Amino acid sequence: MYEIVTEWCNFLIDLGATNVENFTQLMFKLQARYKHIFDSLSKAEQEKIMLAYKIKEMTEDEFLRYNEEVYVPLHPDWFRDMLVPDQEFIAKELLSLLCTREKVHGVIDIGSGPGTLDIFLASKGIIDGPIVCLDPLATSLQQGRDLAKRMAVDVEFQEGRITADALPFESESFELAIAIDSLHWTTHWKNGIKEMARLLKKDGVFYLFYSEHSPRIMIPINEAQNLIYSCGLRKIQTSRLRLQDTPSGSPRILITAIKN
């Protein structure tokens, strides 16, 4: 179902949707203009299209419930045993970003899902200090605990999420703060960036990866960059990636930075 939604979103993007407002407008316009086509679609096709509306309109709690009840059960084996291709790319990038450091003192992964990337980093023996995976989805966290146990690595899985409030960690506790494909699901993405910056130690590495065309929240690159700068991060580097194997194929933005 998720693939169908992203397919539909990509279609709207191809038609010229570039931000939340015109994305939504386009959806409504299309539906009005092509109502007779919409009406002629099968019920199943109509439902696929309507789901794109629903994802946008869901409250944060409804969306998380949808994730737990619909999305995760649809992908029971997703991420379970190994890094998916996007994560392989990210893992290589992270290893090269961290290679000049003898050890990395603590990692926080915001919206970690089952934390396969963190388990991978833990298995490399380069992390000295806590590795904390934070995610609202209890099912994913349990998958992560099981995998960490099988891989005999020490990773902490904690239920929580980005909201308007501070996360329950001391400032400057981690040397690496990552958020992969998670901030574009929350209206509080700005606080997500602020929290990542707050939690980083001096010289710590900030690694934000998100979809430029999320079916839910659009994060404008310049707003993200300005905020990252105003949070005291420097050496900000941004790239736009269209990873071949990204499940949705939609462009990803990667912003890395160092805490000053």
Residue type, 51: L
Determine, following the binding rule CB under 6 A, whether residue 111 of this chain makes contact with ligand SAM: yes
**Integer-rounded Cα radius of gyration of the chain:** 19
CB of 138 to ligand SAM, least distance (A): 10
Cα–Cα dist 169/130, whole Å = 12
Of these, 89, 121, 127, 140, which contacts ligand SAM (CB under 6 A)? Answer: 140
Residue 161 engages ligand SAM in binding (rule: CB under 6 A): yes
Exactly one of 12, 55, 122, 137 binds ligand SAM (CB under 6 A); that residue is 137
Q: Considering the rule CB under 6 A, would residue 211 count as an interface residue with ligand SAM?
A: no
Smaller CB distance to ligand SAM: residue 140 or 173? 140
112 binds ligand SAM (CB under 6 A): yes
Q: Binding string to ligand SAM for residues 46 to 85, with x set by CB under 6 A, is what?
A: ---------------------x-----------x------
Residue with smaller CB distance to ligand SAM, 161 or 198: 161
Residue 108 CB contacts under 8 Å (≥ 6 apart), including other chains: 132, 134, 169, 173, 174, 176, 177, 178, 196, 199
Site membership for ligand SAM, residue 185 (CB under 6 A)? yes
Task: List alpha helices for 42-84, DSSP H.
Answer: 43-57, 60-66, 72-74
Pairing of strands 200-211, 174-180: parallel
b/e code 178-189 from CB counts within 10 Å (16+ = b): bbbbbbbbbebb
Residue closer to ligand SAM by CB (options 175, 181) is 181
Distance CA 149, CA 123 (A): 12
User: Does 186 contact ligand SAM by CB under 6 A?
Assistant: yes
- The sheet with strand 107-110 has its strands ordered as 156-159, 131-135, 107-110, 174-180, 200-211, 252-259, 233-241
193 binds ligand SAM (CB under 6 A): no
Q: Is 180 in the site for ligand SAM (CB under 6 A)?
A: yes
Token pair of 8 as six digits: 């539909």
Query: Which lies closer to ligand SAM via its Cβ, residue 88 or residue 172?
Result: 88
Q: Could you list the residues that contact ligand SAM (CB under 6 A)? A: 67, 79, 87, 110-113, 135-137, 140, 161-162, 180-182, 185-186
